[in-house]
């Protein structure tokens, strides 16, 4: 049975900065230190971490919300999840509420930890070292 995760993360940067780290190929590559190709169009493809992540943009509201169909390259053919990033300004900071639904059971623990290690921690380090 597919599972869901929810994580709330704070960044010391406005929502526009956090959104651009997720949705700009050069900035995504910079914070992740791995190849990323990110379309900023609805229906556009996203490939991150050298092709491990494959996603399709479903909804884009710059600085506020991103919804994508998302999968790992080691998932079974046809398995997709839904990721939702909700960004809220908290003064000059951002609170990101992240949800991922439809994760295959065998991938839940490493996906949950992967968001922390490969996204939130790296994004915070990048923000702290580039502002």
Structural domains in the chain, CATH included, are 3-130 (3.30.530.20)
User: Model confidence over 12-65: pLDDT tens digits?
Assistant: 999 999 999 999 999 999 999 999 999 999 999 999 999 999 999 999 999 999
Position 131 confidence tier, pLDDT thresholds 50, 70, 90: low
Q: What is the pLDDT of residues 63-108, one digit of tens each?
A: 999 999 999 999 999 999 999 999 999 989 999 999 999 999 999 9
Contacts of 113 (CB under 8 A, 6+ apart): none
Separation of alpha carbons 67 and 46, rounded Å? 12
Gap between the terminal Cα atoms of the chain: 42
Range list of β-strands (E), the chain: 3-11, 37-38, 45-48, 53-61, 65-72, 81-90, 93-103
Q: Can you give the pLDDT at residue 2? A: 81
Largest CA distance in the chain: 43
């Amino acid at each position: 049975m597919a599972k869901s995760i929810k994580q709330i993360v704070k960044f010391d940067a406005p929502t526009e900065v956090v959104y651009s780290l997720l949705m700009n190929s050069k900035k995504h590559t910079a914070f992740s230190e791995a190849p990323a190709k990110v379309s900023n169009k609805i229906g556009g493809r996203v490939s991150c971490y050298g092709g491990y992540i494959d996603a399709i943009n479903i909804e884009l509201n710059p600085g506020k919300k991103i919804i994508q169909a998302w999968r790992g390259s080691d998932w079974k053919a046809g398995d997709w999840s839904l990721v939702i990033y909700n960004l809220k300004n908290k003064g000059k900071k951002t609170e990101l509420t992240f949800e991922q639904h439809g994760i295959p059971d065998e991938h839940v623990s490493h996906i949950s930890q992967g968001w922390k290690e490969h996204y939130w921690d790296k994004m915070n380090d990048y923000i702290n070292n580039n502002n």
